[in-house]
Structure 1
Amino acid sequence: MLTKKQIQLLEFIQKRMAQDGVPPSFDEMKDALDLRSKSGIHRLVTALEERGFIRRLPHRARALEILRLPESLAQAAPAAATRTGFAPKVISNDRPTRPRGAIGIVDSGATDLPLMGRIAAGVPIEAISEVAHHVSVPSSMLSGREHHYALEVKGDSMIEAGINDGDVVVIREQSNADNGDIIVALVEGHEATLKRYRRKGSMIALEAANPAYETRILPEESVKVQGRLVGLIRSY
């Protein structure tokens, strides 16, 4: 049987993964459960792992996988998924002989997406406009009839969101975003970057998920949303 705090933490992780596609950081877990230090979160995570509810993935920052949910949360999960929309998924590829980013996925409902080149998860790089090649992703990763495309990540500024250098991100093309969304932002018309979006009045904050990088705060007219993260493909 799980304690009240263990259930609260598991529910928070499940909701954040359904909303953002990546687990929350330990600081976010601490704040959500109103604990004074991260050591309490470490104990709760260890307890959940020992009981077979979650698994920590080695050698990756902020990498947790939910293996199962208690009955009370499992019944609520479908309704939560409906409210939050599409839940991003991570697809792993263990075939290192393939070119980096050229990821083949065997799936009866696969869709080919244009790989538009690289997107900076760090200092913004030149805007992406040309198709490098295509990648095949499960159709279940895509939502509705919206246009999607893929980008290869360059840099480590989103590593605490579970996005590593060399990962391929699946982006749903859209021009709007909610606070907390991970987006492709076009900055001042010529620089593209992958960051978490926050609106602060007439200003837009582009937040990194790595303490080594500062948050950029720009006038709203300088930032154009070009899409939202809905999936992640990792090669090894």
Structure 2
Amino acid sequence: MLTRKQLELLDFIRVRMEADGVPPSFDEMKDALDLKSKSGIHRLITALEERGFIRRLAHRARAIEIVKLPEAMEKPGFRPRLVAQTPAPPSGALPVAAIHALELPVMGRIAAGVPIEAINHVSHHVAVPGSMLTGSGQHYALEVRGDSMIEAGINDGDIVVIREQITAENGDIVVALVEDQEATLKRFRRRNGMIALEAANPAYETRVYPDHAVKVQGRLVGLIRTY
């Protein structure tokens, strides 16, 4: 049983993650719940974590994963943006409801850093929740190598789920094929007839190419992390 404030905070986190893909800051939570200090938010977060509704991810700022929702709050279309592959529960633990999953091919590795060679083979398959697969197009997965997208919550070793498409909107995180030779995972921007591939790490420079040199191969729709 959650208190009113705990429910309000959980719903606020849910709405922000659905809208922006990232959880709100503690200051934003404090303002939304009209609390006087962030210590109250810390207590609410701890309570939600202890009750199994959220999980805080180590070594990442603003990293909160929604694990489950109260029945009254569940809405069609809700999809946590991060799915963790965790060990089987210990003997005697309460069973977890079955989740519909599909197997996707992992098409090798993708650079979140300097571009690497183009993707051209299936290395293995990975189970992905069906709710993560958006739209009607084909999907595939890639293993991330590098840290240039770390501030977008994408770490070295993560598996990214990609929906195949050849177009992108400004701000989308895409798989881009550069000069038909190298593939990279970056944020897409179109500027004055040029294509900018932006990192999410200040240690990496934005790379700018002529429009004809960059082909979008797909858009990021999900992320899988193994602990």
Please say whether Structure 1 and Structure 2 have the same fold, judged by a TM-score greater than 0.5: yes
- For residue 133 of structure 1, the aligned residue among 124, 127, 131 is 124
The separation in 1 between residues aligned to 2:164 and 2:99, in whole angstroms, is: 24
The corresponding residue for 1:91 is: 83
Change (3 A) 1:150 1:202: same
Query: Quick check: 2:65–2:80 contact (8 Å CA) kept in 1?
Result: no
Find out whether 1:195 has 2:186 as its counterpart: yes
Q: Structure 1 vs Structure 2: percent identity of aligned residues?
A: 61
Find out whether 1:58 has 2:50 as its counterpart: no
Look up the SS of the partner of 2:17 in the other structure: helix
Code of the residue aligned with 2:44 in structure 1: it is R
Change (3 A) 1:229 1:187: same
Deviation track 1:159-199 (CA, whole Å, cap 9, x = no partner) reads 11111100000000011111111111111111100111111
Deviation, 1:46, is 6.0
Code of the residue aligned with 2:153 in structure 1: it is G
Query: Quick check: 1:17–1:87 contact (8 Å CA) kept in 2?
Result: no
Query: Quick check: 1:61–1:162 contact (8 Å CA) kept in 2?
Result: no
The corresponding residue for 2:196 is: 205
Change (3 A) 1:220 1:234: same
Find out whether 1:122 has 2:132 as its counterpart: no
Query: Quick check: 2:79–2:131 contact (8 Å CA) kept in 1?
Result: no
The corresponding residue for 1:99 is: none
Q: 1:1-236 maps to which residues of 2 (within 5 A)? A: 17-19=17-19, 21-23=21-23, 48-52=41-45, 56-65=56-65, 89-95=81-87, 107-236=98-227
The separation in 1 between residues aligned to 2:105 and 2:153, in whole angstroms, is: 23
Look up the SS of the partner of 2:212 in the other structure: helix
Gaps of 5+ in 1: 33-42, 97-105
The separation in 2 between residues aligned to 1:166 and 1:175, in whole angstroms, is: 25
Deviation, 1:64, is 3.0
Report 1 or 2 for greater relative contact order, CA contacts < 8 Å, sequence distance ≥ 6: 1
The separation in 1 between residues aligned to 2:135 and 2:226, in whole angstroms, is: 26
Look up the SS of the partner of 2:183 in the other structure: strand
Deviation, 1:207, is 0.9
Q: Indicate the larger mover: 118-127 or 43-52.
A: 43-52
The separation in 2 between residues aligned to 1:19 and 1:217, in whole angstroms, is: 29
Deviation track 1:110-142 (CA, whole Å, cap 9, x = no partner) reads 111010000000000001011111111111111
Gaps of 5+ in 2: 29-35, 49-53, 89-96
Change (3 A) 1:87 1:188: farther
The separation in 1 between residues aligned to 2:55 and 2:128, in whole angstroms, is: 25
The separation in 2 between residues aligned to 1:61 and 1:123, in whole angstroms, is: 24
Q: Which has the larger radius of gyration?
A: 2
Code of the residue aligned with 1:64 in structure 2: it is I
